[in-house]
Every structure is written in structure tokens, then in C-alpha cells.
Chains A and B, each alone.
Chain A
Amino acid sequence: MIKSSPRKLAPQRRLDSFRKELGALTGLILLCIVMSFASPYFLSLTNLMNVLRQSTLIGIVAAGMTMIIITGGIDLSVGSVLSLSSCLTAGMIIWYGWNVWLSVALGIIIGAVFGLLNGLLITQIPLPPFIATLGIMGVARGLAFVYTGGAPIYTFPKSFRYLGQGMIGPVPFPVILMLIIYVLFYILLKRTKLGRYTYAIGGNEEAAILSGIQVGKFKTVVYALTGALAALAGMILAARLDAATSVAGDGFELDVIAAVVIGGTSLSGGQGGVIGSLIGALIMGVVRNGLNLLLVSSHWQRVILGVIILVAVTVDVLRKRGVFVKSRG
């Protein structure tokens, strides 16, 4: 027996597993404090609910995007898929008069199919995720234009509008939906095979294959899930605006990716989690809302959001480097 026996293993510290999210959370709290001084309306219940509501679209899709980014991939098509599936659903409900929930279900399935397509292109051909999803992004957007002829489809029945405008007590329905999705995805990532393999694939794809993981299958599932979430976000947006348009969700993919990255999930794969992405989405929401309250023009908002992404990622990088180089004496 060799002498250097391992010391007793330290028990896992609960806080440790949330260390990564802590940075984003601090950022969010600081932002809220600043905003509450900058604008007296910020802390009002209505406004806070507004912030939450505004965060739901990015938030919901970010849950799936987090998994994709953990596998080391990316999905640029979420904005287009969001638009296409909302237009198709709108067509089914308004033009063909189909049952609302059947149409919604079909819309979500269409989203999943596009995600599946992404996954198959990436795993079977295989194409780099950036290219595959860029292509699908164009295809989905184009189909949305073709289908609608470029004109919005509007005036939904009340039952559909509930998706975007309904309230449960003081809380908007989509917010509840988002929270449920986050609970599910949290469990999915931390407690299921799919989640564990997502980390394994991103951690080292070759090692994952050699460990007997069906990398192609699991990756495809992750893309399909994200496609479904994008479609769901499309429904919520259409319901909120009471209109589905082929231009909806333009540039949305970048907001989603930004939320995930702000939340501490690394683009190099293998690390991260959905809690961070939820916080990231809320940060995006607070900033947008705050800038609106302060009457900052939407043009400047773009600039400021860009800067925030840079700051968030820089802080993350610096913090990580701090772990490697502890400078003293």
C-alpha cells in the first residue's frame, strides 16, 4: 500500500455548485438597486411584473440554448423558428379555424422538427453547428415570409391570447410557464442521463464517444428541445401582440445567446447551467426596461446591451483567471 493515501474527501459544499451563478446574481441585484434610484417606477409591482414578462421569451429559449452551448454547439435559428412556427399556428387558428390547442401543439412540434433538422445536419453529415443553424435560420425565416406573404396574421381568439396576456393573480401566465420550464430543465440537466451526457459531450466529445455515449442521438435531442422552446416562445409573443409576423424575433438568437453567456455558461462547452441563464435573461430584461423608463432611444439601447455583454464576459474571464493565478508575495 502506498503511503500517500488520499485525505478524507471533503463533503460537497452546497454553495460551491452555485459559485458560477453568484457573479451574475450580484450583477442583477446591483442593477436593480441602481435602477430603483434612477427611476421611482422601477420597483412598482406592475413594473416588476413587466420586467418578468419581458424576460420570458429570452428566458424560455435560453433554457434550451444553455444545453446546446454546454454541448459545445450554438443555435442561430431560434429567432426564425420562433417566427415561422407562430405564423403557422396563427394560420391554422385564424385562416383555417382549427382548434386552438391543437394548433399550438402542432406549432410546437414544427419547432421541434426544425430543431431536429439542425441536430441531424450537425450530427449526421456532420456540419459545424454555426453553419447548419445559419442555414436553417435562413430557411425558416424565408418560409415564414412565403407563408404569410409578409403580412401579419392577427386577431386571435381569447383563449390563445391567454398564453401571452393571461394573469394568475398578479403574475403573468408566461412567467409561470417560464418558471416551470426552468424547474424542468434544472432537473433535466442535473438529474437525468440526458443532462449528464450533455456535460460529458461538451467536456470532451471524443472521450464521450469512447465511453459509449451515443453522442449523435443526445445532441439531436437537445437541438429538438430548443426548437420546441423557440416555437413556444413564438406562441407567447404572438399571443401578447395579438399578431404573428414573419419579422418577429429578428436578432432574437443573439439576445438568447447573450443571456446564456452572461449567466456564466462557457461557449467552449462542458460548463454552465440554466440558473445562470435565467439570471442572464432577467438582467437583459431589467436593462431593457430600465432604459425604456429612462427614455433611452432603442438605438442607444443596442449599444448599451452590447457593452453589457462585453463587461459580463470580461468579468467572467477575469474571475476564472483569478482561480489560476493567485498573486501574493
Chain B
Amino acid sequence: MFSVKRRFFRDLQRDRWAVRYLELQLYGSNLWMGVVSLDQGYVVQMQGITKEFPGVVALNGVDFNLKRGEVHALVGENGAGKSTLIKILSGAYQMDRGEIRINGQKVNISSPRHSQELGISVIYQEFNLVPYLSVAENIFLGRESMSNGVFINNKENRAKAQELLDRLELEISIDDTVADLGVAQQQMVEVAKALSMQASIIVMDEPTSALGNREIEQLFRTIEKMKSEGISIIYISHRLEELWQIADRVTVLRDGQFITTSDMETMDKDQLIKYMVGRDLTEQFPERNVSLGEEILRVENLSKKGVLENISFNLRKGEVVGFAGLVGSGRTELMRCLFGADRFEQGKIYLEGREIEIKSPRDAIGHGIGFITEDRQRQGLMLVRPVKENITVTALDRVISNLLIDHSEERRIAEDLVDKLRIRTPGLEQEVRYLSGGNQQKVVISKWLLEKAKILIFDEPTRGIDVGAKKEVYSLINELVGQGVGVIMVSSELPEILGMSDRIYVMSEGRITGELGSQEATQEKILQYATEE
């Protein structure tokens, strides 16, 4: 029977419409999928994929194969081409050369819609949810069940949504407004939405970068659940440790080239990093020998109703103070208050012993405080502007003489930083939105290095950046504290907090619940403070 179908197919090859129609019909039925994957074993086969952008070869003859029911990690440095490969699979980009087979059948993925019809669903880091609609409404947005063809059949939609959430064993109410959900829960809604489209292949581009440990656990449970239903998952992440927990196989890209595909079990971390960066990378957290200076910042009893409660802490010259805590514990809010981006009701801030008032980011910058925000797309970057302008925006005065911007001086300064941070861009005039995620993050960091800052606040500084770049950010922080800068580092990655901080404050529900010196701090202690009520 199988071969009959095959021949039937071949006869129809010339009639594309009929083939497309049949593909849809057949892939829709599990029977056919089962038959094909028995034959091939692979649900996705990408061969020799090449994609060029002006000035950049993003992918050069990359192979990638996905088995049914596996979690396949895709790793590589920033700009290695991971997101580009995914965008080709999802129909957002068209490849220049190469071949894609889905369930053994050669396809030419022409649009995101086509990709969806083939059962592929991508969950991007920037969610595509409508904030003020409910969970159920979001899941079926644009595909609502109708009664009489006119009215949305809410009852049926809600029932179907509930069924999906139950299937994923999620404790989210279908009537919650998406805006009220945490990041992790929003992600779960995205997963549910993908499943509602009958997706059999789900791609997750850096799903854990915005999540805390607790949320990651939940995500992994959901992934296991999907896996057990035979759904295949492509999983991109810069948090290498978690790969051994969740992934079955891993593919490494470097500079747009395919490097290797291997079972997770037979791969160790050092080897994986070596594949990624092309050489050995020793000691993630570089040694630092800085003697601490006098106190540079002291915050006393800072409070903001319902958000922050009696926050007191201090920072010394040349010190790295880490802020640990669960997502939503108030760390970012505290930093925004310090920086004048948000108001607080009570509390005093002393800079070098003198009380200061900070009413706006401009005041803060005037006092020598810099803030590297966690959400680069929303708060850090002007996406449609060139790299150069994004770098110099905080320190434009340095390149202005006689009221006019000195373009060559500006270029020189920007080029210095691009070199120093190894930002991969075809030029200073490239719009930031075309940079890979990690390189965007480096641009955000770079703009604060121009001003002579006394205090730098790093909020999740290594989110989305690769192992090599992480180490460079750490070296950079060391260099800064070596020059007497005080650094505050908010991070949800415990190894990073432990590896970099001289002192650690732990926050929970808007309060500081613990302070730990670098000697006494352990993951367990931090977690204990972080979950304290």
C-alpha cells in the first residue's frame, strides 16, 4: 500500500497544486507520518543550506537533521547562524542554496504560513502574544471556532484551550490576561498555541534566557511531555549546562559552518565548547586581584509601595556586588529606581558619602551611574539605527565640537569599541536589528563604556551571549573594577553570581533577605534566601 502511494505521488509530481494538497492531507494524518518516519527516521532533513546577507555569509552549506521525538540542541557562538537556520525552516527567510525535506518529502518552504502547514512552529524569544487578551483567546487567535459562521464560539474555544493546558499539565487559568502572566507562563502559552496548530516540530530560540531556575524546571517538564507525544524539538541555548539535562543530540555551528552533530551522552562540556569556539577555553571566570577602595554607594531604606521594602546596601570602589533572586523578586525594579527610571517613595542614596537625589536617568548619568538594561530590544537599543549611533548615544558630547558632530571622531570611537568587544557586524552603519542577538547585547554594553562611569549596573549582562563572549564580559568587568569602578551585577545565573561577586545580596519579594560574602556563598544558601517569604 505504501508503494502505491509513492507511485501515485510520483505521477503527480508535475502537478504542484495537487501535490501540495496531498501533502497537507497526508501529513495531517498520523498514519502517514508514522509510515514515512519509519522509513526515514527523520522529520527534518536540511542539507547544504546556504544563506548570504549583504556583507555576511550567515550559513555556508549547513546540514541539520531532526529525528522524530528528540530534543535536538543547536549551539554556536553569537552570529554563528543558529537563528538564521531556524528562520529558513520557519519560512521567514528564503535560503540561497540547499535542500529541505520534511518527513522525507522535499519541500520549498515559501512562507511562515507554509511552514506552519508543514507542522513547524517556532517560539521566538520575543513572544507573539497579544497582552490584553486572555490565554484562551491568544491560543486560538485567528483560528477561533465560530458558531453560525459569525460569532466566536467562546465556549468551544475555552474548552479546547483547557484541554491543551491539561495535556501539558499546566496550572494556568485560560481566562487570565496574558499581560498578567510571568515570562515563563507566557512561554507556556506559546507552547500551547504551537500545539493547537498541530505542530509536530517545535523550535525554541533561547527559551531559558529570560527564565529563572524555577521556571526552567517547568519548561523542561513541558518539553518532556511533548517529547513523549512524539513531538520533535529544536532547542537553541547559550546555557550549555542545561543541555545535558534536556537534549538528546546536539549540532554545533561556527561562523556559518556545520561543525558536528553528536549524541549528548558522548559529548562533554569542554569538548562542546571547543567545537563552538574552535579552541580550548580555560577557566570561565578569570582571576581578579583588586583591592577594595572606600564606599562609593550606599542605599538606605529604599521603599516603593508594593514593590520594594526597606532596601539597604552598599558598594565599594573596585567591588562587584551580585544581586541574586528569583525572577520577579524586585531586582530590576530596584536598579531602575537607583537609575532614576522609576520613582520610589522613601529612602536615601549616598554617592561617595554625599546624599544625592536622582530624579531621572539623566541625573544618574550625571552622577556617573550607568545602567545596562536586561531587555535589550525594548530598553537598550534603537533597532533601526546604525551600530555607530547606538554606541555613541550616551556620550554624544564627546564627539561634538562647535555644536557639530565630528563624524570621523565618532567613527573612531565606535570602531574602538567594536574591536574591543569583538562585535560582529559588517560595518558601523549596519542597523542594529540585523545583528545577531548576542552581538546586540554587546552593543548595549559598549555604549556605557564611553562615559567615565563610577558605578555600572549590569542587569543580566550575559543573557543570550556565547561562552567566549561571556568570558570577555567577565574580563571587562574585572578591568572596570580594576580602574576603581563599582559594579552591581544582577543575574539569574547562579554560577555567574558565584563566580564574579565579591559580595552577594539575595532578594525575595521586594526585600533583601540575605547578604553573603564570596567565601561563604553557595548555590544552596542563595536559593534558601531567595525562596524566603
Contacts and interface: CB of A to CB of B under 8 A. Distances in A.
A203 B382 CA distance: 5
A193 B400 CA distance: 8
B405 A193 contact: yes
Interface stretch (A9-17, A90-98, A174-182): A9-17
B286 interface: no
A72 to B, nearest CB: 11
Interface string A255-280: 00000000000000011000000000
Contact of A326 (B94, B404, B422): B94
B394 interface: yes
A306 B102 CA distance: 46
B293 interface: no
Interface residues of B, number: 58
B382 A200 contact: yes
Contacts of B77: 2, 4
B316 to A, nearest CB: 25
Contacts of B142: none
Contacts of B423: 6
Given A6-B423, A9-B428, A211-B447, A192 B405 contact: yes
Contact of B424 (A6, A208, A328): A6
A299 interface: no
Given A12-B429, A191-B405, A207 B97 contact: no
Interface in A167-199: 187, 190-193, 196-197, 199
Interface in A3-25: 3-7, 9-12, 16-17
Contact of A192 (B378, B394, B403): B403
A102 B374 CA distance: 54
Contact of A9 (B427, B469, B471): B427
Contact of A199 (B378, B389, B404, B407): B389
A325 B93 contact: yes
Contacts of B278: 3-4
Given A4-B422, A213-B393, A270 B95 contact: no
Nearest to A3: B278
B148 interface: no
A3 B277 contact: yes
A177 B497 CA distance: 61
B418 A9 contact: yes
B230 interface: no
Contacts of A36: none
Nearest to A194: B403
A6 B373 contact: no
A40 interface: no
Q: Which of B360, B384, B418 lies at the interface centre, i.e. has the most chain A CB atoms within 10 A of its CB?
A: B384
A193 B396 contact: yes
B472 interface: yes
B380 A207 contact: yes
28 contacts: A2-B469, A3-B278, A4-B254, A6-B424, A7-B426, A9-B415, A11-B427, A12-B427, A187-B404, A191-B407, A192-B405, A193-B397, A196-B389, A196-B396, A203-B382, A203-B384, A203-B385, A209-B361, A210-B339, A210-B361, A211-B394, A212-B365, A324-B93, A325-B93, A325-B94, A328-B94, A328-B96, A329-B97
